[in-house]
Amino acid sequence: PKDHLPYRTAFHFQPAKNWMNDPNGPMVYKHVYHLFYQYNPYGADWGNIVWAHATSTDLVNWIHLKHAIYPSAPFDINGTWSGSASFLKGKKPAILYTGIDPQRRQVQNLAFPKTLSDPYLIEWTKPPQNPLMEPINGINSSSFRDPTTSWQGPDGRWRVIIGNKRGHRGMAVLYRSKDFVHWTKAKHPLHSAKDTGMWECPDFYPVSVEGENGVDTSVISKSVKHVLKNSLDDTRHDYYTIGTYYTNKDRYIPDAGSIDGDAGLRYDYGKFYASKTFFDDVKNRRILWGWINESLSREDYIKQGWSGLQAIPRKIWLDKSRKQLVQWPVVEIEKLRVNGVHLPRTELKEGSVHEISGVTASQADVEVTFELSKMGKIEEIDSNGLKNPQYLCSQKGAAVEGSVGPFGLLVLASKSLEERTAVFFRVFKSQNKYVVLMCSDQSRSSLREEPDKTTYGTFLNVDPLREKLSLRSLIDHSIVESFGGNGKACITSRVYPKLAIDGGAHLYVFNNGTSSVMISSLSAWSMKGAQIKYL
């Protein structure tokens, strides 16, 4: 019951209480989806980390099982940190994870399911050969963690990368193995980049150059490109590049224009960290899980007794341009939709705010598409303005009138709009080209002073004259996950309203620009809660 806890979510993945961070070892085994996660059994702050475990048959409703991996031997006695699952011959799952040893060194360990016939994989064992990889030969023992899903090269040998840094150079250290137990460090990392700091939770996988289907992690062919994602400890965001994996040299090289580090592309321009993908061979798609932390002080989340949730799992694939990825909430989440409200084609006049009634605004899914056929005068920006979209969004928030935009949604809004989170677009012109800015403005999300209300933003690679501008927001009490341009840009925010909770929450579509815009379609649904069971 969430009566005394208005910020608990209804359809996002979260444990009953306490601290949760990184998603670990996601996989599908015998048609059952598994999610493990970094968890503190004793409190709502980080510490005492074990691998908690839950399973699902639809990625929506979950059964929480007992902890799968926890400190039990010298090689992990001080913590069982992040890692990934791989499938060995005969579809046998194997987990590589980081253990913290008695000297507090980071080492890599292996765990196997005890009973392969059990689709829930409840019991795990650790082979006596652990640790399999140790921080020796110049590897810094406090920057050596988070093994990826392994892949097999054309020679049949296994490869895995481990996050690392040397000085301030971020690195993906490469290891190879014939039997998954004995691992040898390769001379060169798979990839590295200067001035990026520690690479946490790397993820390396192929994406098909055509269509939205996913491919298995070991697939190497002319019809795939590769993605390397790193979670940068320095900025706490997940960045990725798109490039080519050269198997002859075991090197990954980002495409020209695909930049390493914090000038590069992000999965999400709000909160989203330590993410990990897996290949779902049941539905032939690649799915992305990511951790979303609180925007509260440590004191406040300890007080509320829980901290952190997982984003709705997203299907992820390569955009037609081959220059960026596209993400979309897994289709299964749509089965929670009830009582749909559909707006006919409507002109959204300058300065208008239109309430979308009939949905539970604190727990909703909204999709809206705008058309900008007649654009009048457009705000100009120079190349400086193009450098920092988040800053631009904070300067030109929803309350700042523009010409084309701001227009979009006011979510988790109170009746008189003292509280609202604004997710919107604003169109600019720069050197005779249209530029679409997408923002999530939390500055007025709560009358409470304490939560962090930073505004987020990014540019959206859509031509607003030729294409419609679409926005989808998944709203779940204290989280808003927004997808612009059919998933070309994602922004996730955490908000803690005082008035706009439960029945006090409202949903609006607004236009604070001097040009009118056309809503070509708008649909909103109330969302049922997911079913969560505890074994």
Q: Judged by CB under 6 A, does residue 82 bind ligand DQQ?
A: yes
Contact with ligand DQQ (CB under 6 A): which of 14, 76, 96, 200? 200
Q: 3-state DSSP: the chain helix, strand, coil percent, rounded to 5?
A: 5, 50, 45
Distance of CA 440 to the CA centre of its chain: 16
Residue 503 corresponds to which tokens in the numbers above?
């029945």
For ligand DQQ, the binding residues in 329-388 under the rule CB under 6 A are: none
Work out how close the CB of 25 gets to ligand DQQ at its nearest, in angstroms, rounded to a whole number. Answer: 12
CB of 359 to ligand DQQ, least distance (A): 34
Using CB atoms, what's the residue nearest to ligand DQQ?
A: 81
Could you list the beta-strand ranges (E) of 281-385: 285-292, 306-307, 309-310, 314-318, 325-329, 337-343, 346-348, 352-355, 363-371, 379-380
Find the binder of ligand DQQ among 29, 81, 301, 496 (CB under 6 A): 81
**38 forms part of the interface with ligand DQQ (CB under 6 A):** yes
Question: Out of 22, 76, 365, 441, which one is annotated catalytic?
Answer: 22
- Whole-number minimum distance, CB 304 to ligand DQQ, in Å? 20
Pick the closer one to ligand DQQ by CB: 37 or 87.
Answer: 37
Q: What is the CA radius of gyration of the chain?
A: 23
Q: At 196, phi and psi to the nearest 5?
A: -105, -10
- The single residue among 274, 292, 436, 495 that binds ligand DQQ, judged by CB under 6 A, is 274
Task: Figure out which of the listed residues 18, 21, 86, 445 binds ligand DQQ, where binding follows CB under 6 A.
Answer: 21
Rounding to the nearest 10 degrees, give the CA dihedral for residues 514, 515, 518, 519. -30
Give me the 105-144 binding string for ligand DQQ, x by CB under 6 A, dash otherwise: ----------------------------------------
* Two structure tokens written together for 250: 């075991």
Q: How many C-beta atoms surround the C-beta of residue 467 within 10 A?
A: 14
Is the Cβ of residue 134 or residue 255 nearer to ligand DQQ in the bound state? 134
Task: Kindly state whether residue 458 participates in binding ligand DQQ, applying the rule CB under 6 A.
Answer: no
Round to whole Å and give the CA distance between 335 and 60.
9
List the structure tokens of 400: 């700042």
Q: How far apart are CA 55 and CA 498, in angstroms?
A: 34
By the rule CB under 6 A, 98 interacts with ligand DQQ: yes
User: Tokens 């929670």 — which residue?
Assistant: 336
Instruction: Give the tokens for residue 129.
Output: 């050969």
Binding flag, residue 146, ligand DQQ (CB under 6 A): yes
Regarding 279 and contact with ligand DQQ (CB under 6 A), the answer is no
Catalytic residue at 234? no
Q: Is 22 in the site for ligand DQQ (CB under 6 A)?
A: yes
Q: How far is CA 17 from the centre of its chain?
A: 21
* List 27, 49, 316, 460, residue binding ligand DQQ (CB under 6 A): 49
- Residues known to be catalytic: 22
Point out which residues bind ligand DQQ (CB under 6 A): 21-22, 38, 49, 81-82, 98, 145-146, 200-201, 274
